[in-house]
Homo-oligomer: A and B are copies of this chain.
Amino acid sequence: MTDARQHLTLDGAFTMHRGGVLESPTLAYETWGTLNDERDNAILIFTGLSPSAHASSSADDQSAGWWEDMIGSGLPLDTDRYYVICVNSLGSCFGSTGPASVDPKTGEVYRLSFPVLTLEDVADTAWEVVRHLGVDVLHSVVGCSMGGMTGLAFCARHPGKTRGFVSISSAARALPFSIAVRSLQREIVRTDPYWNNGNYTDDKSPITGQRLARKLGMITYRSPEEWIQRFGRERTTSEGKPGDPFQIEFSVESYLESHAQKFTGQFDPNCYLYLSHASDLFDLAEHGGSLEVGFKRMELERVLVIGVTTDILFPVHQQRELADGFETAGHDTRYVELDCIRGHDSFLVDMDAFRPVMCSFFDSCA
């Protein structure tokens, strides 16, 4: 398979938001469509925790992207009109510098010597990519899940650098339930003996911890309602180990197992820990002392906030808080609450619900 990724290596040292320095970090990104002569049609996508920059297929990489049905000709992020940019988050492991990268100062993999990562760092490094591409002001920033929080950091730290903002199933700050879930996921990885304080090898890596952490993720990414419809108390037909009284028995267990196995091995464990922790740390109120000031710092012409009623991890009251915050700060805000049954993941899997809302905001899908 060919690779559509491009890379930008920043000149010199990048100082991290909470201290520490990265020497010439690299950012991987992909683009779709063309920057127009006015340079005012660029849309920047901030991803959730785990996706790469490969949000959609292209001539250079025809494999389906993680938002394949959202980006393209005639789709909501219409590549006939918009220049769409997606950056692999700083700290991730799909081409951008992160804990799994080699520290040029030491020649060793960063591992836990990587400085504390924040979503502010993710936002600031992505902005370097955008400027490198010749864009001074973005048409819009679109942030999903963790990416929505990254987008808030961007809008608060770079006022006037995007005219529009779309927040999808995100939050103004992490609340204790989601902190508890993510903290437990991290501890599950860290207590796998093969994590070895971050010094795992290819042969001995915390795949069990990753697999179980991913299962906990899946439990919070989907919704109980979906699973009642989809699985109920259906038994699985897969064969278990004889003599194991706790083998997989219900279809929902089998579903979690297959999803968790897919994830394991794809994502570097230390990168996962850093990005997960960055989500817990984010609080828009740190940008000025309160949420109100944080929203006020932004300069936005148009805002769209989308929430899903069955989302456990980023619940609707946090979506309403976002919409109210933008509105109160004087930004022209549209709030849409979707009744999708598939919880937090709906923006990835329920295109029929999301497409019209996105088309309306981007004046696309004509």
Contacts and interface: CB of A to CB of B under 8 A. Distances in A.
A224 B176 contact: yes
Interface string A191-219: 10100000000000000100010011011
A283 B208 contact: no
B183 A253 contact: yes
A190 interface: yes
Interface of A: 112, 116, 173-177, 179-181, 183-184, 186-188, 190-191, 193, 208, 212, 215-216, 218-219, 224, 227-228, 230-233, 243, 245-246, 248-253, 256, 273-274, 277, 280, 283, 315
B193 A212 contact: no
A249 B116 CA distance: 13
Contacts of A190: 246
Count of chain copies: 2
Contacts of A233: 173-176, 179, 283
Nearest to A216: B184
B186 A116 contact: no
Contacts of A174: 233
B193 A253 contact: no
A193 B208 CA distance: 11
Given A184-B215, A188-B212, 8 more contacts: A180-B253, A181-B219, A184-B256, A187-B246, A190-B246, A191-B212, A224-B315, A246-B273
22 contacts: A112-B243, A116-B245, A175-B227, A175-B232, A175-B233, A176-B233, A176-B251, A176-B252, A177-B227, A179-B250, A179-B253, A180-B215, A180-B218, A180-B219, A180-B227, A184-B212, A184-B216, A186-B246, A187-B246, A190-B246, A246-B277, A249-B280
